Structure 1
Amino acid sequence: MSLTKTALLRTWKSKCLSIALFALIGISIIAAIQGLTAGPKIYEPGGKPYIDYNNFRIFKFSFYHLIHNQDIYRLFPEDHWDLFKYSPAFALCFGILSWMPDPIGLLLWNLINSLCLFAGVRLLPGLNDEKKSFILLFCLLEMLLSVQNTQSNGLMSGLIVLAFALAERRQYMLSTLCIVFSFYIKLYGAVAFILYLFYPGKLRLFGWSLFWMLFFALIPLVVVSSNQLLFLYNSWLHLLIDDRSASTGVSVMGIMVTWFHLPGAKTAVTLAGVVLFLLPLIYIRRYKDISFRFLFLASALIWMVIFNHKAESPTYIIVMSGIGIWYWSQQPTALNRTLLILAFLLITMSVSDLVPAPVRNGFIRPYGIKAVMAIVIWFRIVYEQLFHPRNLNPTPA
């Protein structure tokens, strides 16, 4: 190897995490500029035009609707398109950004999403900086798609990875805070609670989880009455029930409907997914194997999307985080490398402008192609958990 190549390699290894960090900050700024300079969007023929960063506006105005004692789960067409579907606690917490001018608030929201994932991956144990950088760079384009849509998926992914990393360090107060907050953003964050089976101090984990659950459930009382809060939870529950029955998403259920015309299989598919997800837990002795715990973290991240009836393209930053952790937390194999490349092509690149619009709109999106490799790799992870016990990086739990 030439001196130049050796120097470049050393520079990369010493600066790789900084490169990943600057890349995440860069796409956050780019997405904010795109949203602020883009023209208005019309979501239905003949409808009212709305600001391009509509999801951010939904979150922003949820705080004002909350403090004005309105039903935050109804439509507010004068402010934004579509419904607010998160918890009252999230609406309250978003007040930190709501009072800011949109350019500042939008940029900070994008940075929160990107940097939370960076923090989680940065703290993962047992991986060197180069592998951590590869995970983050592998997710980069999916993160860009998520922040371009000003969604919370980067934050969701980051909170769960961060919760895992903190649990590995026995920082249970902060770890449970991350998972509980993810639950109050999107309910499927509760899937990550299963990770706590791997750690000692179950009573402490339960106590902190219960504390944070009650904290976020009741914190809206600082701005609304108890009766109003009960009303909001009832309204939220009805919204979630109606929402589940009305959609299938870019998911296993979506493929069952679009490929096999089986709309009635939603419950059966979900139950089968739960059983397969939990089945590797029978190997209790492997809980002390960090490679097993990494596989379960990856499985959880992918599962909560591919079995989510509301999964959409920007949600797949969560999937790609799981795939990256799966691949770079173990020794590479030819098969896994092939699956990784196919995942990048079919999940990330399939919806990019490099694919002709007629193919994207006529085949990729209608048939949920983005979900295919996520499902394949999730089954691969379950197979590895069940039939390929590896003791690559054993550490005591």
Structure 2
Amino acid sequence: MSILSIKIPLTSKLKIPIHIFLWFLLPAIAVLLELSRHSINNYLIFKYVFVNTWEQKNLYTAYPEFYNDTNHYGPLFSVIIAPFAILPDWLGVILWSMVNAAFLFFALERLKLPEKAFKTILLVGAIELMSSTHHVQFNPMVASWLIFSYIFVEEEKDIWATLFIAAGFLCKLYGIAGLTFFLFSKHKLKFIGWFAIWLAVLFCLPMLFSSPAFIVQSYIDWIHSLQLKDSQNAIQSVTFGQQDISVIGIIRRVSQNSHISDGMVLVPAMILYCIPLFKVSAFKNPEFQIRYLALALISIVIFSSSAESVTYIIAISGVLIWFTIQDPVKNWMIILLIFVFIVSIISPTDLCPRPLKSVIRAYALKALPCFIVWLRLLYEVQFNKYSTQTTAS
């Protein structure tokens, strides 16, 4: 019997497939472990985005009496975290982690991939989801929003697509990658109009429990905090810190040169990302479109100096989508997926031998397998033959 067909008996009447059971069990274990260790620092940062917005205190100042590090999310994030922040911390952090897992689960399910592909994504991705949940991260939801924006463009529901793009942009900037899907929209004017409307609405939304002046100033402060963080990331990179787990991070760490600019990699990457988009005739083809979804999910992580190991639930989602849409799956693709699994997924965990883990972490090599998949995806969107088949409405 295949592992994909195993079901977990919970009662005599209810059976849960193993891939769904593990998808929710592993993050549940992770968040309960962190609670038992009193190690929910990231959640406290998130919580105080709401608290400080309510009390109109600077969102980007350090508050060492409450948590370590500083916030780097936009003021809109105060609205997202609010329903959890008003709860006791133990309950809020559990619900926050499980809602993040649920968002990504339902986004992947809505992609309507073949059942075996969906099961493979959940089974392989569950470990990366667990790693993200150990740090009670927002990244699973960020990944889901980008996937939902793609799905709603495909379903010609541009109102909802643009909501997720605008929300992702105003919370963590990454969501802006969803604008790629504008090219696949059949209602471009509607897309532009609703994106502008959602930007305005979501920009103002935190003002409901704060003030206009404070929110406007907070967005200005946010820009400054991101600029400062980018320069700090470059320094952290050459001292083998937690940030800059990216392609440019590999270059900085190997060369031990913190002065290498992001643009050295970002500009060529953006050009390569955009070149296949001149193939206008392929825009209606679902195989071309979903490859761009995978490309976007990987791109926003591996070229970000702010990427941490736990950010990779976004990129790994893209890698797994790429792998499961291959027909046929070739041996070298399986080898590449194993490489991703060992270096990008397993390396931060206790399953990885300590010497190997140390080398991968020191030189930001977690980004390397995802970068190889990114290059392969570029090849596929540029050179595969795509018909003018239209996606179903």
TM-score, normalised to structure 2, is 0.90
Q: Please give the alpha-carbon distance, in whole angstroms, between the structure 2 residues aligned to 1:279 and 1:141.
A: 34
Aligned to 1:105: 92
Q: Which moved more, 1:161-170 or 1:307-316?
A: 161-170
Shift of residue 16, structure 1, vs aligned partner: 11
Aligned to 1:41: none
8 Å contact kept, 2:4–2:19 = no
Q: Relative to structure 1, is the Cα distance of residues 55 and 392 closer, same or farther in structure 2, using a 3 angstrom cutoff? A: farther
- Secondary structure of the residue aligned to 2:218 is helix
Q: Relative to structure 1, is the Cα distance of residues 243 and 11 closer, same or farther in structure 2, using a 3 angstrom cutoff? A: closer
Q: Does 1:264 align with 2:263?
A: no
Which one of the candidate residues 132, 136, 140 is aligned to 1:150? 136
> Which amino acid is 1:290 matched to?
P
Aligned to 1:64: 51
- Secondary structure of the residue aligned to 1:288 is coil
> Which amino acid is 1:308 matched to?
S
Write out aligned runs for 1:1-397 (5 A): 5=1, 18-38=17-37, 51-125=38-112, 127-248=113-234, 249-262=244-257, 263-331=259-327, 332-361=329-358, 363-390=359-386, 395=391
Q: Please give the alpha-carbon distance, in whole angstroms, between the structure 1 residues aligned to 2:285 and 2:105.
A: 24
Gaps of 5+ in 1: 39-50
What per-residue deviation string (whole Å, max 9, x for no partner) do you get for residues 2-59 of structure 1?
A: xxx49x87777xx998433322221232122111101xxxxxxxxxxxx411000101
- Secondary structure of the residue aligned to 2:52 is helix
Shift of residue 185, structure 1, vs aligned partner: 2.1
Q: Please give the alpha-carbon distance, in whole angstroms, between the structure 2 residues aligned to 1:254 and 1:212.
A: 34
What per-residue deviation string (whole Å, max 9, x for no partner) do you get for residues 266-292 of structure 1?
A: 212111111111111011111111111
Number of residues paired by the alignment? 376
Q: Relative to structure 1, is the Cα distance of residues 9 and 179 closer, same or farther in structure 2, using a 3 angstrom cutoff? A: closer
What per-residue deviation string (whole Å, max 9, x for no partner) do you get for residues 312-360 of structure 1?
A: 1001111110011111123112222221111111111122212233432
What per-residue deviation string (whole Å, max 9, x for no partner) do you get for residues 70-121 of structure 1?
A: 1111001111111111111111331111110112111111111111111111
Shift of residue 390, structure 1, vs aligned partner: 4.8
Shift of residue 393, structure 1, vs aligned partner: 7.8
8 Å contact kept, 1:120–1:163 = no
8 Å contact kept, 1:28–1:147 = yes
What per-residue deviation string (whole Å, max 9, x for no partner) do you get for residues 222-271 of structure 1?
A: 12222222221221111111111221400011011012345324212111
8 Å contact kept, 2:143–2:314 = yes
Q: Please give the alpha-carbon distance, in whole angstroms, between the structure 1 residues aligned to 2:375 and 2:16.
A: 30
8 Å contact kept, 1:119–1:162 = no
Q: Please give the alpha-carbon distance, in whole angstroms, between the structure 2 residues aligned to 1:351 and 1:31.
A: 14
Q: Please give the alpha-carbon distance, in whole angstroms, between the structure 2 residues aligned to 1:379 and 1:93.
A: 34
Aligned to 1:48: none
8 Å contact kept, 1:298–1:325 = yes
> Which amino acid is 1:80 matched to?
Y
8 Å contact kept, 1:250–1:306 = yes
Gaps of 5+ in 2: 8-13, 235-243
8 Å contact kept, 1:347–1:371 = yes
> Which amino acid is 2:107 matched to?
G
Q: Relative to structure 1, is the Cα distance of residues 37 and 207 closer, same or farther in structure 2, using a 3 angstrom cutoff? A: same
Q: Relative to structure 1, is the Cα distance of residues 354 and 382 closer, same or farther in structure 2, using a 3 angstrom cutoff? A: same
8 Å contact kept, 1:253–1:266 = yes
8 Å contact kept, 1:306–1:374 = yes
- Secondary structure of the residue aligned to 2:255 is coil
8 Å contact kept, 1:256–1:265 = no
8 Å contact kept, 2:4–2:116 = no
TM-score, normalised to structure 1, is 0.89
Q: Please give the alpha-carbon distance, in whole angstroms, between the structure 2 residues aligned to 1:345 and 1:364.
A: 10
